[in-house]
Amino acid sequence: MPEPGEGEVSVDVSHAGVNFIDVMARRGDPGYVTAWPFVPGKEVAGTVRQVGPGVSGLVPGQRVAAFTPSGGLAEVAVAPAR
């Protein structure tokens, strides 16, 4: 289970978008991937599962939409709180 770090939240994902970057990475274009293996999913919506240190204004259970560095095509994703 991913744990949020400083300034991050974990999100129980209910919906995930397929971003252009995800498509290009899936095609194998290395210019769109920061590291391999690449877990797609740049856009998510769901509810806050856990709040990391230094985060204020968000609470578990709150509905959110977020951009993730990657990994949004999962049951739980970590995203910057901002």
> pTM value?
0.87
pLDDT in tens, 3-25: 999 999 999 999 999 889 888 88
Residue-wise pLDDT for 41-82, tens only, equals 999 999 999 999 999 999 999 999 999 988 899 999 999 999
* 12 half-sphere exposure, CB direction, 13 A CA radius: 9
Tell me the pLDDT band of 28, cut-offs 50, 70 and 90: confident
DSSP one-letter string for 46-70:
EEEEEE-TT--S--TT-EEEEE-SS
Fold for the domain defined by 8-80: Quinone Oxidoreductase; Chain A, domain 1 (3.90.180)
